[in-house]
Amino acid sequence: MWLWFSKLGSPKWFYELSGKWLPWLVAFMVVTMTIGLIWALLFVPEDYQQSFTNRIFYVHVPVASISLAVFPLMAVAGAITLVWKMKLADMVAKCAAPIGVWFTGVALATGAIWGEPMWGTWWVWDARLTSMLLQFFLLIGVVALRSAIESPDAAARACALLSIVGAINVPIIKYSVEWWNTLHQPPTPLSMDAESANGPEIWVPLLIMIAAVYCFFVISLILSTRNEILQRERRSQWVMDIVAAERV
């Protein structure tokens, strides 16, 4: 196991292996995204309370789910960086932060689009919304901190610590609707009953969209990490060989 863990931390091994994964991941994302969007936009029944406004959730829920996963990912990568000094872990943490900013921003925006017709306002200082906004600024803080520190090693350590601390906010976001009386709706129970308001015709396309958006996140992270590997390892012989082969 430790041999596999050590091998996984090799930028060269990750670059080569991820290159083999990417075509399959892209194909899976295209198929699931196409099915999910068509199903959600054209075939999901109208909600008895929200009318067709509920269709925004087929984007909002997957994107918000990703935004909650980013900080734990960065925290784990940061801990590996601090303990084992693994270069690849720091590269992943660095690349995940700006992607997390994007996903969290989209989650806030789509939530506001839904909230205006349902709540009559684009924004309230609700526990869920406020904690999500805090995460947005924490992610921007990680990106800014990385840019502000000249030493790569010092930047990696500082961002790792901030990522570990920032991950504390994730359970607050997750359980805020249960801990406090919030305007944001609690988790919606799903049902296998076709006659239920939240039956399979509602949650099956949602699960498909979640799979598609997670795949999109993984592809974005892999591509960004591959670019970071080429940048950091540009003096390595294997990278120079790749560049030379691309020029032929």
Q: Quote the pLDDT of residue 99.
A: 98
Say what the pLDDT of residue 100 is: 97
pLDDT, mean of residues 150-170: 95
Q: How confident is the model at residue 119 (pLDDT cuts 50, 70, 90)?
A: confident
pLDDT of residue 209: 96
Rounded to an integer, what distance in angstroms lies between the CA atom of residue 118 and that of residue 125?
16
Q: Does residue 129 register a pLDDT over 80?
A: yes
Does the pLDDT value for residue 191 go beyond 50? no
Summarize pLDDT for 203-212 with one digit per residue, the tens: 899 999 999 9
Among residues of the chain, what percentage have pLDDT more than 90? Answer: 62
Q: pTM for the full model? A: 0.91
Task: List % helix, strand, coil for the chain (3-state, nearest 5).
Answer: 80, 0, 20
What pLDDT does residue 107 have? Answer: 96
The token pair that represents 56 in the structure block = 């925004």
Cα 11 from Cα 241, distance rounded (Å)? 15
Write out the DSSP string of 9-23: T-HHHHHHHHHHHHH
Please tell me the total number of residues recorded for the chain in this structure.
248
